[in-house]
Amino acid sequence: MNSGLIYNTDLDLTFGNQHVEVLASGTPTLDGKAVKEGHQTLKDGTTLDYNKNKSTLTINGKEYKIEIQNNKDHNGAKHIDYKVKTGDAGVYSDGVMPTGFMGVMFDADNKASSNESKFPSFLEQFRLGK
């Protein structure tokens, strides 16, 4: 039976000119190479903390703090769970607004607001592949 849930199986993030990709099926990559276990700092000051045993990656930057974990549902389907918080500088501090799910849920500053009215229509577009 289809539960109607949308599972996220990949996450692509750009920090300056560096690219982080997280796949539910494997090790996260930085610029196409496996992320090293432990702590590392990107060129723009964003930090990555990767724990291979726990399948967790924490990204901490001026715009976001993102906690990512590879997971499986009760049927064994792999997916990504993640929590995103805006950083002190706000998500628009680099002059580029986020896109995708994050683009719908964040505005240009670091103050909490409700974008719930936008979210259902975005989900419907996502389900329809628009």
| Secondary structure (DSSP) of 19-49 | EEEEETTS--EETTEEPPSEEEE-TTS-EEE
Cα gap 21→10, rounded to integer Å: 7
Cα gap 23→31, rounded to integer Å: 14
pLDDT in tens, 90-115: 777 777 777 776 666 666 655 655 55
In a domain, 60, yes or no: yes
pTM attached to this predicted model = 0.73
Cα gap 8→23, rounded to integer Å: 9
The answer to whether the CB of 94 falls within 8 A of the CB of 63 is yes
In a domain, 1, yes or no: no
Number of domains in the chain: 1
Which domain range does residue 42 map to?
10-95
| Secondary structure (DSSP) of 101-115 | HHHHH--SSSS----
pLDDT in tens, 18-76: 999 999 888 999 999 999 999 999 999 999 999 999 999 999 988 888 899 988 888 88
